Structure 1
């Protein structure tokens, strides 16, 4: 298995599970000029300190449909119009970041980068159909001791909020002989204020034609 630490090593891995192909790519942090250009395009004065714009976890069926998880689409779900956490350190953080990036105007936006991103659907002619269901992931099956045939942990972005906490989103996958499980987690800690976790879990059994998900 390849490893990566803070973007200094690159790796790309493919794994086949029946008709599904799992692809993980992990590489360096985006360059400053690319981050600045992206921030302008997204109308945000600042983006996370460690933004892995080329990191991706993709799960695609041979028929073309599937789902992937990437940092850019996750950031598109951030509220770029107002703060989500109104605390004393919010203005201090934004002003400090603005100074470091030579911004003349501090624009209000969600400085915690909170996102409700659940993944990006793939496929032009055919896509996964998302619909409400009462079915839940079988946690007992997940607890069973099965051989892990493939595992990957992909970091999409992380920011220490100017030493006031941490904001990060990552996605993990583990593939067993009869199923695969995906956990996408956004984690936020603002020191002395709050902890927030947005989880999306996907589970697929080889014998079934659907992927039950839990979103918390």
Structure 2
């Protein structure tokens, strides 16, 4: 086990760490470690030699650019992978499904784009998935509901759209700041407005009833908001 987190280390991560072939845990989070160009990511390829690696923490550093393809060739014993709070770009590789024993995956607060690959749904052991604060788009894959061990799913502050799949009803889903969340709030507000209009039109006293011109304006405004 090697824990160097919460220090002020800077520079690139040395590929020589790959020589620690019996390494079980590598925690480098909360430093100022850099990956400015593709060759700076060579340490990931080197870590594929650590065939017993179970935990890799790289969060809260200065890692930039696309994550290397060799990431998915890390040990299949890996159950914890944290890449949060960096500047990683590109798409989530479909081959992520090769890390079959992941229970914790955090890629939040990066610049990831594209859609959530359906292949993430093949990580059957996954319990915690955080993809929040990226630039992900499209619809949330209904197949995420197949992850029966999933307890926490964070998808907020992306550009997802469409409906929340009913298959996720048993998962603690955090999806604020998406078009999904906005539409849910909008529907709720419009329903309240329509209900209020209905009550004001059904008052027993004619003096308390809203005139139809006002009601139509309010309903028209609600319709425009809902369809915008």
* TM-score for both structures, normalised by structure 1: 0.22
Q: Which has the higher strand share?
A: 1
Choose between structure 1 and 2 for higher RCO, CA contacts under 8 A separated by at least 6 residues: 1
Q: Which has the higher helix share?
A: 2
* TM-score for both structures, normalised by structure 2: 0.21
Larger radius of gyration: 2
